[in-house]
Chains A and B, each alone.
Chain A
Amino acid sequence: DAGVTQSPTHLIKTRGQQVTLRCSPKSGHDTVSWYQQALGQGPQFIFQYYEEEERQRGNFPDRFSGHQFPNYSSELNVNALLLGDSALYLCASSMDRGPGNTEAFFGQGTRLTVV
């Protein structure tokens, strides 16, 4: 059983460019959440997708957008990249059994460097 997989593992982009990160959830999972982890900090919630809709969003600007496909895989898009967007981007998947009954599993992350 494959776990959560993310691609690419590393990426270097120039300020102002756009980037797309991809995530395939664990088999049987229907919910995908994205997190940003800056160096030396804990992951910060960006947004969550369920049934192809954005269900919840953290405190991130509209430059961050996403999508969930019918097979539950997901993309994170970031437009107009800033140096401060350099971080490890983590995808988590879960099978929604309601609050308090849902365990999240994480991929290995995509390390984005903006120069």
Chain B
Amino acid sequence: GIQVEQSPPDLILQEGANSTLRCNFSDSVNNLQWFHQNPWGQLINLFYIPSGTKQNGRLSATTVATERYSLLYISSSQTTDSGVYFCAVEPWAGTASKLTFGTGTRLQVTL
């Protein structure tokens, strides 16, 4: 099956710093979503981005489907950004919304 790799696995930032998280996938995909998992386990939708670039406040994401990667940018990080960030893909030959997740990037933002 499709492989999804995220980097870096862990990231520690000071408040106000910027960061880039990367998601590589091994095969063509129909869809890609980015999630933030808070300390209570809730997966919060950040972006639905099979291709192109989207922005939402301090967060933006770019997916280059032909090169099989996606990037999540966090600017002016805040302590509330801490948690685990997952990308998840819907494989090209797969069922709608059946997602394969990466291993995540654990972000800690300190004062």
Contacts and interface: CB of A to CB of B under 8 A. Distances in A.
Q: Judge: A and B partners, yes or no.
A: yes
Given A41-B103, A42-B102, A100 B33 contact: no
Interface residues of A, number: 31
> In this complex, which of B4, B95, B103 has the most chain A Cβ atoms within 10 angstroms of its Cβ?
B95
Interface string A65-106: 000000000000000000000001010101011111111111
A100 B30 CA distance: 4
A47 to B, nearest CB: 9
A109 B97 contact: no
Given A42-B86, A42-B102, A106-B35, A97 B96 contact: yes
Interface string A37-57: 100011111001000000110
Interface of B: 4, 30-31, 33, 35, 40-43, 45, 48, 50, 86, 88, 90, 92, 94-104
Interface of A: 31, 33, 35, 37, 41-45, 48, 55-56, 88, 90, 92, 94, 96-109, 111
